[in-house]
Amino acid sequence: MSGTITKVSGPLVVATGLADANVSDVVRIGKQRLIGEVLQMKGEDASIQVYEETSGLGPGAAVETTGIPLSVELGPGLLTNIYDGIQRPLAQIRALTGANIARGVDVPSLDRDRLWEFEAVAAVGQHVEPGDVLGTV
């Protein structure tokens, strides 16, 4: 679902037309697809925290909800990277955009091409409980 900006005040954006959005949803804002998070919903109006520079945004710009809450991805490789505050890997961003982080950059948090050796501990069909070790990487 998409809506439109009605107000911009620094990193806070207010948008309307987002009746299907939920608090904590990630949204993409404007032509640069800046990343933000829905902080509050009042009917179809959303107050959004934008995690990137908002200069150039104004009323009428598009806001698109992803329908997914802001979260972090866990997995192998997490400890060997350095991330910004919204889990974007800085080395990969630098490789794409240079020393200055470009607005709207969207890169996966973890390397999708790297293979990791996995040793299963639990057997297929085995009953497992929360906290049980399934395997090691």
DSSP 98-122: -SSPPTT----SS-SS-----EE-S
21 contacts 65 by C-beta, under 8 angstroms: yes
Residue of 70, 66, 71, 69 lying closest to 3 (CA atoms): 66
- Compute the distance between CA of residue 90 and CA of residue 114 in angstroms, rounded to an integer: 17
- Compute the distance between CA of residue 74 and CA of residue 30 in angstroms, rounded to an integer: 28
> Could you state, in order of their start, the residue ranges of all structural domains in the chain?
2-69, 72-137
86-108 per-position pLDDT tens digit:
999 999 999 999 988 888 999 99
122-135 per-position pLDDT tens digit:
999 999 999 999 99
The CATH number of 2-69 is: 2.40.30.20
What φ, ψ does residue 92 adopt, rounded to 5°?
A: -70, -35
